[in-house]
Structure 1
Amino acid sequence: MRRFAFIAPLALAAVLAAPAMAQQVTVTVGGDLTDKVEELGQRDVDRQIERLQSVVERRLARENALQGATVNLVLTDLKPNRPTWQQAADKPGLSIIDSISIGGATIEGEIVTADGQTLPVRYSRYSSSLADVQGYTTWQDADRAYDRLAGNLVSGRLVSR
């Protein structure tokens, strides 16, 4: 009996610690962005793909949302708040520090739920004016778009704008 008293809590802990069916998040480039990759720079676009995937995966995992789902996202437009390294190299007059612009991102795609239902996703967020640009990073507004998309996915607001 004493052995069972010791083993039972361990078994319960193992069950509780077992990961739930995780969601799979993939991000690709599409739409107008395919024509802008060379202008923005492949390295920057690749990093934004990784960033979007990471933000969505972490938020869904943290909130235990869309368990067992496959989230297929397509980054269709991407605008930096400051020139990328590639843009600065192509146009020496641009300042990576002093030049700012309206930034943001458009993301489309679909969610295939664990039960096979397909739900469309579309989210777009851009600063409306230079006065709205906050922060000092190249991809500040794109990061906001990723965070808000992830929040919408967690809360069940799959289609926005």
Structure 2
Amino acid sequence: MKRLFAAAALAAVLVQGAQAAEISVGYGPEFTKKLQEDYGEKEGDVLAGRIERDLTRELAKAGVDVARVEVTILDARPSRPTFKQAGDKPGLDMMRSVSVGGMKLKAVAYDAAGAPAGELEYDWYENDIRQAGLTTWHDASRASDRFARRFAKALD
């Protein structure tokens, strides 16, 4: 039993080491302004968390070994109104107001020596209002997922 526990602990350490890429998500100047004036600043944290999760998952799946990834959200559009938008414009309905959303991202990966290992700029926006997502950032989440897959593939 002790050996099994020790083996599981060692495996957990090795898995953490394989996923040691530091991922930082920032915002472009125009998107920062949108967050402050229109969407609400907490919405940036929601998107950044999604991007970090998607990239962590896809880099691990692909077995890509990079030390650091810097991602910049250049633009994002919600599929449904954010809380700030609904508060600022009472005519918006959180459930019935829909829009085509999506996101534009740019990322640079660096190796352990600090040299660029790869770069990708990617955008995806829904083009059919009938396919608008069910949640505020549904379409932007789809863009994040697609971006993470392409970036991991490009680095592989």
With structure 1 as the length reference, what TM-score do the two structures score?
0.80
Aligned pairs for 1:2-81 within 5 A: 14=10, 18=14, 19-20=17-18, 22-38=20-36, 39-65=38-64, 67-81=65-79
Identity percentage of aligned residues: 32
After TM superposition, give the deviation of residue 15 of structure 1 in Å: 7.6
Give 1:63 deviation, angstroms.
Answer: 3.0
The answer for the alignment partner of 1:104 in structure 2 is 102
* Corresponding residue to 2:154 among 143, 153, 156: 156
CA distance in 1, matches of 2:130, 2:11: 51
Distance apart, 1:115 and its partner CA: 5.2
1:147 & 1:71 partners in 2: Cα distance?
16
**How many Å apart are 1:108 and its aligned residue?**
1.1
CA shift digits 1:76-135 (9 cap, x unpaired):
1110000000000000000000000010011113111345442322110101131332x3
Q: Do the aligned partners of 1:78 and 1:103 also contact (CA within 8 Å) in 2?
A: yes
Letter in 1 for 2:130: A
State the structure with more CA Rg: 1
Q: Given that residues 83 and 94 in structure 1 are in contact (C-alpha distance below 8 angstroms), is that contact kept between their aligned partners in structure 2? A: yes
TM superposition shift of 1:52? 1.1
Gaps of at least 5 residues in structure 1 are: 1-6
TM-score (norm 2): 0.82
Residue identity matched to 1:59: E
Give the Cα separation in 1 of the matches to 2:29 and 2:115.
24
- In structure 1, the residue matched to 2:119 is 120
Equivalent residue pairs, number:
147
